[in-house]
Amino acid sequence: MAANEVLATIKKRRSIRAFQEKQITEEELQTVLEAARYAPSAGNQQLWHFTVIQDQQLLAELNVSAKAGAAVIDNEHIQQLAKNEKFNIFFGASTVVLVSGKEDGLEIESDCAAATQNMLLAAESIGLGSCWVDLTLFAFLGEKSEYYKEKLGVPAGYRPFSSVVLGYKKVEAVNAPHRKEDVVNYIR
């Protein structure tokens, strides 16, 4: 099998769920954001928007709101997480990037997912820990939606599709969760 740095980064990247308090550098942040902007997008529309949140008080508020939203949805696992007082949806990461997309984009959910994945890989490639966190979206349910969209500067006509937490890893992840192998068929 081929081996190179990109493939090594893809295989090494893990969802990191424990972070040091120290803030990442501006250069690290910009590296990750640039990777997001270089993602493919349907029709090259690039109808995404990124909100960098490094205000720890706002992150604490979003954590509480997201958990309140998650606590009432019809999923036992998510409900349990939401009701656990000690659980922080951002895992103490000092930076969160919210990924929003223009709702009438051609394939906006895919575009935002591509940008999100690029950020995870870029983060790993420069030694940062990251995790794709969609629990954040529960903060935008119902009446809270407009309040947070305004507070976070999400442009009109856009809505959040994902978020990425970034920071220095507390510990290196060792074991990758099992990968299914029986997921390909070949027609040759």
Ligand X SMILES: Cc1cc2nc3c(=O)[nH]c(=O)nc-3n(C[C@H](O)[C@H](O)[C@H](O)COP(=O)(O)O)c2cc1C
Q: Which residues bind ligand X (CB under 6 A)?
A: 14-15, 17, 131-135, 176-177
What does residue 48 show for φ and ψ, rounded to 5 degrees? Answer: -110, 165
CA distance between the termini of the chain? 20
CB of 26 to ligand X, least distance (A): 26
Q: Are 98 and 50 in contact (CB under 8 A)?
A: yes
3-state secondary structure of 51: strand
Q: Which CB sits closer to ligand X, 14 or 67?
A: 14
Q: Are 39 and 111 in contact (CB under 8 A)?
A: yes
CB of 177 to ligand X, least distance (A): 5
CB of 96 to ligand X, least distance (A): 11
| DSSP, res 135 | G
Q: Which CB sits closer to ligand X, 77 or 188?
A: 77
CB of 125 to ligand X, least distance (A): 15
Q: Which CB sits closer to ligand X, 150 or 176?
A: 176
CA distance 98 to 159: 10
CA torsion 52-58-64-70 (nearest 10°) is -30
Indicate the residue type of 5: E
CB of 14 to ligand X, least distance (A): 4
CB of 31 to ligand X, least distance (A): 20
Q: Which CB sits closer to ligand X, 47 or 114?
A: 114
Q: Which CB sits closer to ligand X, 127 or 177?
A: 177
CA distance 94 to 96: 7
Q: Which CB sits closer to ligand X, 47 or 135?
A: 135
| DSSP, res 169 | B
